[in-house]
Amino acid sequence: MLLRATAEISFNSIVITDKQHNIVYANPAFCRMTGYSLDELRGQNPRILQGPLTDPQVIEKLRHGLEDRGFFSGSTINYRKNGKPYLLEWTITEISDDADEPRFFLSVQKDITQLDAEQTTGNLFAKAIDAAYDGIFITDAEGLIEFANQGFEIITGYTPAEVIGHTPSILKSGKHDEAFYERLWRYLHEGLPFRAMVINRHKDGREIHCQQTITAVKRANGTISHYVSIIKDMTDRVFDELKLREQASHDAMTGLLNRRGGELELEVSLIQCEETSSTYCIVMADIDNFKAVNDTYGHPRGDEIIKAVADILIENTRKSDKCIRWGGEEFIVLLPFCDMDRATRIAENIRTDLAAMTFEEIGGVTLSLGVTDYTSDDTPKTILERVDHLLYQSKRTGKNRVSSEQIA
């Protein structure tokens, strides 16, 4: 009774046949595997499970094994009741009576279809990963590299042997700030894929621009076991795009960003503000009475003034600030990590620097300016409308002045 109870709860499939090889018992696991009930199986020969893909050589080996040694072990394809094939691994052992004559045959079986598929697929994936042109490397949960493919060596110059056991910081270029890496680890710790353009450093010291994706691999219990990184070398494309972008996004006369480039910068800046909750201000400036200057003194004189304003904007701003020629005589300055007091001082300095200049034939020229700051619900449209309103408030109230408004 104990042996039967054990067979009933066994994970493996168990079937017992008599000496004529007719089934006398099959446990629940065997019935689930084959799709037959015990009543349907009892009295049948296991040949009912064979079909076109069943290997006859394996069946012949089975017959000789039982005749010669009373034992068999092997694998082949059998068929379920519904006709679907499955890959079977099984052993058969002879059970003899007191006269040492075969009385029963005990067979323990296992459906290895999925395991075989996983192993076959796993081998295929391993070969495909290693042959991939993109760089692929895998780290453990602590960030130590356990695997790197040939593509990784082609892109970075490092052989797998040189990086295994190290962290990916071996590729660090120093071009990304702490906020970048904080965002990266926040995504990964939350189990989210991280995608970004990353500037890495090649083994020979040059910078390589990579489109990189990092994905967490989780165990069955939800904890992270590994991270898989895929890097695509975009260096040539990046430099080509930078040249085209420089031409497409910058004003030919002043070298400042043009309106198209400025719109993109503003959109990106507002997204960064939302992510970092940082201060951010925008200044809009317009040359007073510029149409009259052009009409009276000609466009070459007008161009001199525009260039002078561009120079003043650059002189009064940081490298991280963005100066834009927004229209004919209209300019915008984007000031990240800048509060209203500082932004208003910058606007005043721009105004006074231009007002202090004297242009041949024309004399003095002035600017009207508006200044506002970013709020959490701002869009490019709303912040531009607000700063434009402040600019024209300066125009209406006498020109050559700065109007500012802090939004609580």
* Token output for 325: 């020629």
Show the DSSP H helices in 146-298 as ranges.
150-156, 160-163, 178-189, 235-249, 259-276, 290-297
Residue 171 sits in a domain whose CATH number is: 3.30.450.20
Question: Are 382 and 263 within one domain?
Answer: yes
* Residue 6 maps to a domain: yes
Residue among 151, 133, 125, 107 nearest 10 (CA): 107
Nearest to 366 by CA among 389, 348, 339: 348
Instruction: Give CA–CA dist 342/370, Å, rounded.
Output: 14
Let me know whether 392 and 271 are in one domain: yes
Going by their DSSP bridges, the two strands 367-373 and 330-336 should be labelled as: unpaired
Q: Which of 81, 116, 151 is the last residue of a domain?
A: 116
End position of a domain, from candidates 187, 207, 238: 238
Look up the pTM and report it: 0.44
Q: What is the CA radius of gyration of the chain?
A: 38
Both 259 and 343 in a single domain? yes
pLDDT values of the chain reduced to their tens digit, one per residue, 408 residues: 556 666 676 778 899 999 899 999 999 999 999 999 999 999 999 999 998 778 888 889 988 888 888 899 888 888 888 888 888 888 999 988 877 888 899 999 888 776 665 565 555 566 667 667 788 898 988 889 888 888 899 899 998 889 988 999 999 999 999 999 999 989 888 888 999 999 999 999 999 989 999 998 888 888 888 899 999 888 776 666 656 666 678 888 999 999 988 998 999 888 888 888 889 999 999 999 999 988 898 989 999 999 999 999 999 999 889 999 999 999 999 999 999 999 999 999 999 999 999 998 889 999 999 999 998 888 999 999 999 999 999 999 999 999 998 765
- Are 69 and 174 members of one domain? no
Q: Which of 365, 353, 187, 181 is nearest to 289 (CA)?
A: 365
- DSSP label at residue 168: G
Answer whether residue 121 is part of any domain.
no
Question: Count of domains in the chain?
Answer: 3
Residue that has been written with the tokens 């006859």 in this structure? 56
The answer on 176 and 45 residing in a single domain is: no
Q: What is the CATH number of the domain that holds 380?
A: 3.30.70.270
Same domain, residue pair 257 and 351: yes
Range of the domain at 111: 2-116
Do residues 104 and 153 both lie within one domain? no
Asked if residue 124 is part of any domain, the answer here is no
DSSP per position, 211-254: EEEEEEEE-TTS-EEEEEEEEEE-HHHHHHHHHHHHHHHB-TTT
Q: How far is CA 356 from CA 31, 55, 172, in A?
A: 96, 97, 47
Q: Among 311, 279, 288, 310, which Cα is nearest to 364's?
A: 288
Asked whether residue 327 falls in the same domain as residue 379, the answer is yes
